[in-house]
Amino acid sequence: MNRIALVTGANRGVGLEVCRQLALLGMEVILASRDAEKGRAAAAQLAANGVRVEPMQLDVRDEASIARLHADILSRYGRLDVLVNNAAVMPDSGIRLLDIPPDMMRGSWDTNTFGPLRLCQTFIPLMLQHNYGRVINVSSQKGQMESMAGGSGAYRVSKAALNAVTAVLAAEVQGTNVKVNSMSPGWVRTDMGGPNATGSVEEGADTVIWLATLPDDGPSGGFFKKRQRLAW
């Protein structure tokens, strides 16, 4: 049976490209989007180019939405092999952490940190039942402690915390065939990255695809960019 993959925030940008590439590898891909109509439109766009994916609704902030998706995946496939936590927001470009209002901070954490954590808590137990799982937390070098700088503090802190989530979960499943890794796609041309970004979505998706197809002796609990390990 083909591997089953779920990609969050997949109606555009890096997530959409990850769906395309995973489907071309022969996986059954669930293209999850918070707006069901946008998800259907993105899936139709891929289908027009001969790539079949399954659109499903998912707002990573909404526990009822996650529970519905979990039930749908269980009844339809019975398992999940690959989870790509890609959905994110960056509400505070150019704003100093000193000035960020609490609601902006909470909103950023809710989507970028608690969202992936909720999905991991929902799907890693299912992966452990089947002793196979590849979890990719799409993070950012803006969350890297080693190169931490000012500005976009809500985004930076939420991604640093996401990296900590990766490290803790990887330790908790160590010794199983479930691997949990963080990665950065680099600066890529999407709505978030803007038109001047140096990389394409294909380049941004590459390390996700590599981590999603890791062999059983591949790494877990790491932070990667361009298939190379980064310092936390």
Supply the residues annotated as catalytic.
155
> Measured from the CB of residue 8, what is the shortest distance to ligand NAP in angstroms?
6
In sequence order, what are the residues at sequence separation of 6 or more whose Cβ sits closer than 8 angstroms to the Cβ of residue 36?
A: 55, 57
Q: Is-contact 22 212, C-beta < 8 A?
A: yes
Shorter beta-carbon distance to ligand NAP: residue 10 or 173: 10
**Position among 133, 153, 193, 222 found at the interface with ligand NAP (CB under 6 A):** 193
> Does 15 participate in binding ligand NAP (rule CB under 6 A)?
yes
Beta strands in 71-167 (DSSP E): 82-85, 133-138
> Does 55 participate in binding ligand NAP (rule CB under 6 A)?
no
Shorter beta-carbon distance to ligand NAP: residue 75 or 196: 196
Shorter beta-carbon distance to ligand NAP: residue 67 or 78: 67
Shorter beta-carbon distance to ligand NAP: residue 129 or 198: 198
> Measured from the CB of residue 17, what is the shortest distance to ligand NAP in angstroms?
8
In sequence order, what are the residues at sequence separation of 6 or more whose Cβ sits closer than 8 angstroms to the Cβ of residue 117?
A: 165
Tell how far CA 204 is from the center of its chain: 12
Name the one residue in this structure whose structure tokens are 């890609």. Answer: 86
Segment interacting with ligand NAP (CB under 6 A) among 80-88, 98-106, 121-129, 169-177: 80-88
CA nearest neighbour of 109 among 93, 95, 123, 89: 89
Q: How far apart are CA 43 and CA 19, in angstroms?
A: 9
The SS3 of residue 68 is helix
Q: How far apart are CA 21 and CA 157, in angstroms?
A: 30
Q: What number of other Cβ atoms are within 10 A of residue 36's Cβ?
A: 14
Segment interacting with ligand NAP (CB under 6 A) among 68-76, 125-133, 181-189, 224-232: 181-189
> Does 59 participate in binding ligand NAP (rule CB under 6 A)?
yes
Q: What would the two tokens of residue 163 be? A: 């990296």
**Position among 23, 80, 88, 230 found at the interface with ligand NAP (CB under 6 A):** 88
> Does 73 participate in binding ligand NAP (rule CB under 6 A)?
no
> Measured from the CB of residue 177, what is the shortest distance to ligand NAP in angstroms?
25
Residues in contact with ligand NAP by the rule CB under 6 A: 8-9, 11-15, 33-35, 38, 58-61, 86-89, 111, 138, 140, 184-185, 187-188, 190-193, 197
